[in-house]
Amino acid sequence: MSTLILPGQTGYSLGSWSDTTPNTSMFISRSTCDGTHATITVNMWQGPFPVIGQLLATSSVSNIPTVSNVAISGVNLDANGNGTISYLSAHAPVTDHADAGLAIIPQSEIPVLIPVSLPLVGTVFSLPQGQGANARVLTWQTLFPSAPATVVVQLQAAMPNPFSPTFGVLDQSTNVSGDLRFVTVQDFQLVRVAVTACSGGTLPSIIAKLGV
């Protein structure tokens, strides 16, 4: 069974994002900077544990400058969410000092690893009825949080079949930096994204999104 993509909504054929998971929110009690990295001492009060690479924003701190959308470079938290978070900072060195503020880490999209054995086939979505011979414009986007050296990603489409729909190639991308493409879909009602070839990279991963 497929899920209908509605206008204004995003369908994750590969990867995911949860609209029911809150942002990670933390109280800041101390801060310091060594001229290369800033480190904040935090206590989490909601959301999932942060990981390196997620983007962080701070507010109301006084010992170091506030930041917006900086990548986390270090996480050292205990099971209760108490510990330190580090990120790159070119601010002049500041000794460890008591501080008071908030840190927010927006919930991020979750990629899927591209396996050695291919194809990697994504979730199937249904398209809404279009106008004029059932035509609609479909947007599909690929993102590679960890990029491969080469890749072939296909937008595949099929007509409904209660037993086993036969998918054909509607469009294709080989851009390892990610791609945003627009396709007019005339006859097909089912769409999905599939990785059919991939080489190189370190644990390459992908997010593939669909929209109408």
Q: Which fold has domain 24-105?
A: Elongation Factor Tu (Ef-tu); domain 3 (2.40.30)
Helices (H), the chain: none
Q: What is the pLDDT of residue 56?
A: 95
State the pairing for strand pair 150-158/190-199.
antiparallel
Q: What is the pLDDT of residue 132?
A: 47
Domain-wise residue ranges, the chain: 3-17+110-211, 24-105
* CATH code 2.60.120.1090 for 3-17+110-211: yes
End-to-end CA distance of the chain: 19
Per-residue pLDDT tens for 152-173? Answer: 999 999 988 767 788 999 999 9
Per-residue pLDDT tens for 55-109? Answer: 999 999 999 999 999 999 999 999 999 999 999 998 999 999 999 999 999 988 8
Strand partners, 210: 11, 140
Rounded Cα distance between 5 and 141, Å, is 15
Residue 192 to residues 5, 30, 78, 159, 183, Cα–Cα distance (Å): 11, 47, 40, 12, 13
What's the whole-model pTM score?
A: 0.71
